[in-house]
Structure 1
Amino acid sequence: MSTLLNSLITELRRGTLTLAVLSQLRTPQYGYSLVQLLEESSITIDQSTLYPLLRRLEKQELVTSSWDTSESRPRKYYVLSDYGVEIFLQLKEEWLKNSKELYGLLQGEDDHEAD
């Protein structure tokens, strides 16, 4: 795969990963549980991508975090803030609208290729 294609795929995935992560934080999750949830939906995310993304979402006040020290190994849990839920729902609506529009365009491409 070319460097250009890799770069474009990374760019395409960046926004979708943010939405995917937000979608799973309606209930508290720690990093590894989040990776597992995403992988169940065939979405792979490296920890080197996930943790900076979680920190950015926290800085943007979309996500809050808290430590659970009741286990032998402390875990940092992340969950959507009220503001995060509001933004997630708006992003989801926008994503569904854009996906439908893009799907229509791409389906049209298939029709042109048959000509």
Structure 2
Amino acid sequence: MEKLLSSLITELRRGTLTLAVLSQLRTPQYGYSLVQLLEKSSVSIEQSTLYPLLRRLEKQELVESSWDTTESRPRKYYVLSEYGIEILEQLKAEWEKSTKELQNLLKGDVENEPD
């Protein structure tokens, strides 16, 4: 049972992590700062999950990256692209709609019960 539950929780979190990451990239962030921001909101993400996700989002043109080499240790910063901002807004609206629908289902509040 624990193995199945763990698998289902991972599947459930997969999509929400994308939304969580995008929501924090309105200002430029590097990997570790992004992890800290997410953890501050109780969203945990492993670096082994974060970096492939960031690369995928960059490939999808939702985020842009740039290197800061002014410090002793170069850092790659990520920020939402214009396209990413549009997508984030649409995803937020869908998330809010889906959340409301699921809350109603889980509470048993069904507006249109069958006759």
TM-score range, shorter chain: over 0.9
Find runs of 4+ consecutive structure 1 residues off by over 2 angstroms. none
Q: Which residue in 2 is equivalent to 1:87?
A: 87
Alignment: residue pair count: 109
Q: Which residue in 1 is equivalent to 2:113?
A: none
Instruction: Indicate the structure with greater helix content.
Output: 1
Q: Which residue in 1 is equivalent to 2:41?
A: 41
Alpha-carbon distance in structure 2 between the residues aligned to 1:79 and 1:23: 10
1:14 Cα offset (Å): 0.3
Alpha-carbon distance in structure 1 between the residues aligned to 2:28 and 2:99: 28
1:38 Cα offset (Å): 0.2
Q: Percent identity?
A: 81
Opposite residue 96 of structure 1, the aligned amino acid is: E
Alpha-carbon distance in structure 1 between the residues aligned to 2:91 and 2:84: 10
Opposite residue 102 of structure 1, the aligned amino acid is: L
* Partner deviation per Cα, 1:55-108 (whole Å, 9 max, x = no partner): 000000000000000111100000000000000000000000000110111111
RMSD: 1.0
Matched, 1:9 2:9: yes
**Structure 2 stretches lacking a partner, 5+ long:** 110-115
What SS does the aligned partner of 2:72 have?
coil
Normalised to the residue count of structure 1, the TM-score between the two structures is 0.92
Alpha-carbon distance in structure 2 between the residues aligned to 1:31 and 1:75: 8
Alpha-carbon distance in structure 2 between the residues aligned to 1:2 and 1:44: 20
What SS does the aligned partner of 1:77 have?
strand
1:2 Cα offset (Å): 1.5
Alpha-carbon distance in structure 1 between the residues aligned to 2:50 and 2:39: 13
Q: Which residue in 2 is equivalent to 1:69?
A: 69
Normalised to the residue count of structure 2, the TM-score between the two structures is 0.92
Alpha-carbon distance in structure 2 between the residues aligned to 1:47 and 1:107: 35
Q: Which residue in 2 is equivalent to 1:113?
A: none
